[in-house]
Structure 1
Amino acid sequence: MTHAGPDSKSAVVDAAPRTFDVIVVGAGPAGSAAALEVARAGYSVALVERGPFPGSKNVYGGVVYGRVLDELVPRWWERMPVQRWVTRRQTMVMTETQALTVDFRTEDWGRPPYNGATAHRADLDSWLAELAVEAGAVLVPSTVVTGLLRDRAGAVVGVRTDRPDGDLTGGVVIACDGVNSFLAKEAGMYDTEHQAEHLTLGVKQTLALSRETIEERFAVTGRHGVDIEMLGCTKGIPGGGFLYTNYESISIGVVLGLTGVRDGGTRPEDLVAELKRHPAIAPLVKGGEQIEYSAHLIPEGGYHSMPELVGDGILVAGDAAAMCLAAGIWLEGVNFALGAGMFAGRAAAKALRAGDVSKTGLGGYRKLLENSFVLADHRKLRDFPALVLGERTQQRYPGLVCDLVQGLFQVDNPAPKPGLRKLLLRSAKDNGVRLRDLVRDGWTGMRGLR
Structure 2
Amino acid sequence: MEELDLVVVGAGLSGLTAAYYAAKAGLGVLVLERGDLAGSKNLSGGRLYLGPLRGLLEELLEGLPLERKVVVERLSAMGQDGSATLSFRHRILGEPQYESHTVLRALLDSHLAERVAQAGGFVVPQKRVDGLILDRSKVTGIRSDGEEIRAKAVILAEGVLGLLSRELGLSSPPQPREVATALKEVIQLPEGTLESRFGVGEGQGVAHLFVGSITSGIGGGGFLYTNRDSISLGLVLRLEDLMRAQARPHELLESFKAREEIASLIQGGRLLEYGAHMIPEARRVPISRLVGDGYLIVGDAAGLSLNMGVTVRGMDMAMASGLFAAKAVIQAVQKQDFSASSLALYVAQLQESFVLKDLNRFAPLEEILGIPRIYKYPELVCEALARLFRVGPGPKEGYLRSLRRALSKGPGIPSLLKDLWAMRKL
What band does the TM-score fall into relative to the shorter chain?
over 0.9
Write the distance in 2 (CA, Å) between the matches of 1:253 and 1:300: 16
Write the distance in 1 (CA, Å) between the matches of 2:407 and 2:12: 44
TM-score norm. by structure 2 comes to 0.93
**What corresponds to 1:180 in structure 2?**
161
**Does the aligned pair in 2 maintain the 1:302–1:378 contact within 8 Å?**
no
Give the counterpart of 1:34 among 18, 27, 31. 18
Alignment of structure 1 residues 77-156 onto 2, 5 Å: 78-110=62-94, 112=96, 115-151=99-135, 153-156=136-139
Give the counterpart of 1:53 among 37, 44, 47. 37
Structure 1, residues 120-144: CA drift from partner, whole Å, max 9, x if none?
1111011122222222222222211
1:258 and 2:236 are equivalent in the alignment: no
Structure 1, residues 279-323: CA drift from partner, whole Å, max 9, x if none?
222211222222222111111115588883112211111011111
**Does the aligned pair in 2 maintain the 1:208–1:291 contact within 8 Å?**
yes
Write the distance in 2 (CA, Å) between the matches of 1:289 and 1:315: 41
- Are residues 77 and 91 of structure 1, via their aligned partners in 2, closer, same or farther at CA, if it must alter by over 3 Å? same
1:23 and 2:4 are equivalent in the alignment: no
Write the distance in 2 (CA, Å) between the matches of 1:337 and 1:200: 18
1:438 and 2:419 are equivalent in the alignment: no
**Does the aligned pair in 2 maintain the 1:33–1:341 contact within 8 Å?**
yes
1:339 to partner: Cα distance: 0.8
Alignment of structure 1 residues 348-427 onto 2, 5 Å: 348-394=329-375, 396-411=376-391, 415=395, 418-420=398-400, 422-427=401-406
Write the distance in 2 (CA, Å) between the matches of 1:124 and 1:379: 28
- Are residues 170 and 304 of structure 1, via their aligned partners in 2, closer, same or farther at CA, if it must alter by over 3 Å? closer
| Structure 2: unaligned runs, 5 residues or longer | none
1:145 to partner: Cα distance: 0.5
Write the distance in 2 (CA, Å) between the matches of 1:363 and 1:265: 43
Write the distance in 1 (CA, Å) between the matches of 2:349 and 2:298: 12
Write the distance in 2 (CA, Å) between the matches of 1:106 and 1:247: 21
Write the distance in 1 (CA, Å) between the matches of 2:60 and 2:198: 27
Write the distance in 1 (CA, Å) between the matches of 2:187 and 2:172: 39
Seq. identity, %: 36
Write the distance in 2 (CA, Å) between the matches of 1:75 and 1:107: 25
**Does the aligned pair in 2 maintain the 1:302–1:326 contact within 8 Å?**
no
1:57 to partner: Cα distance: 2.5
Give the counterpart of 1:196 among 176, 188, 193. 176
- Are residues 195 and 378 of structure 1, via their aligned partners in 2, closer, same or farther at CA, if it must alter by over 3 Å? same
Write the distance in 2 (CA, Å) between the matches of 1:305 and 1:386: 18
**What corresponds to 1:429 in structure 2?**
408
1:75 to partner: Cα distance: 6.3
Write the distance in 1 (CA, Å) between the matches of 2:190 and 2:203: 13
**Does the aligned pair in 1 maintain the 2:285–2:303 contact within 8 Å?**
no
1:330 and 2:324 are equivalent in the alignment: no
Number of aligned residue pairs: give it: 425
Moved more, 438-447 or 318-327: 438-447
Secondary structure at the counterpart of residue 404 of structure 1: helix
- Are residues 190 and 302 of structure 1, via their aligned partners in 2, closer, same or farther at CA, if it must alter by over 3 Å? closer
Write the distance in 1 (CA, Å) between the matches of 2:131 and 2:419: 43
Give the counterpart of 2:290 among 278, 285, 309. 309
- Are residues 443 and 98 of structure 1, via their aligned partners in 2, closer, same or farther at CA, if it must alter by over 3 Å? same
Residue type of the partner of 2:23? A
Write the distance in 1 (CA, Å) between the matches of 2:207 and 2:180: 20
Write the distance in 1 (CA, Å) between the matches of 2:405 and 2:189: 42
Structure 1, residues 374-423: CA drift from partner, whole Å, max 9, x if none?
111111111212212320112x2111222223333344686365234x44
Residue type of the partner of 1:231? V
Write the distance in 2 (CA, Å) between the matches of 1:38 and 1:253: 35
1:18 to partner: Cα distance: 5.5
1:112 to partner: Cα distance: 4.7
Write the distance in 1 (CA, Å) between the matches of 2:394 and 2:180: 49
Structure 1, residues 327-377: CA drift from partner, whole Å, max 9, x if none?
211201111100111111111222332332222221121111111111111
Write the distance in 1 (CA, Å) between the matches of 2:62 and 2:91: 18
Secondary structure at the counterpart of residue 253 of structure 2: helix
Residue type of the partner of 1:128? L
**Does the aligned pair in 1 maintain the 2:189–2:270 contact within 8 Å?**
yes
Write the distance in 2 (CA, Å) between the matches of 1:293 and 1:203: 8
TM-score norm. by structure 1 comes to 0.88
**Does the aligned pair in 2 maintain the 1:93–1:230 contact within 8 Å?**
yes
| Structure 1: unaligned runs, 5 residues or longer | 1-16
- Are residues 414 and 305 of structure 1, via their aligned partners in 2, closer, same or farther at CA, if it must alter by over 3 Å? farther
Structure 1, residues 89-118: CA drift from partner, whole Å, max 9, x if none?
111110121111111123444465661111
Residue type of the partner of 2:151? G
Residue type of the partner of 1:157? T
Write the distance in 1 (CA, Å) between the matches of 2:166 and 2:287: 12
Residue type of the partner of 1:203? L
Moved more, 376-385 or 404-413: 404-413
**Does the aligned pair in 1 maintain the 2:171–2:285 contact within 8 Å?**
no
Secondary structure at the counterpart of residue 224 of structure 2: strand
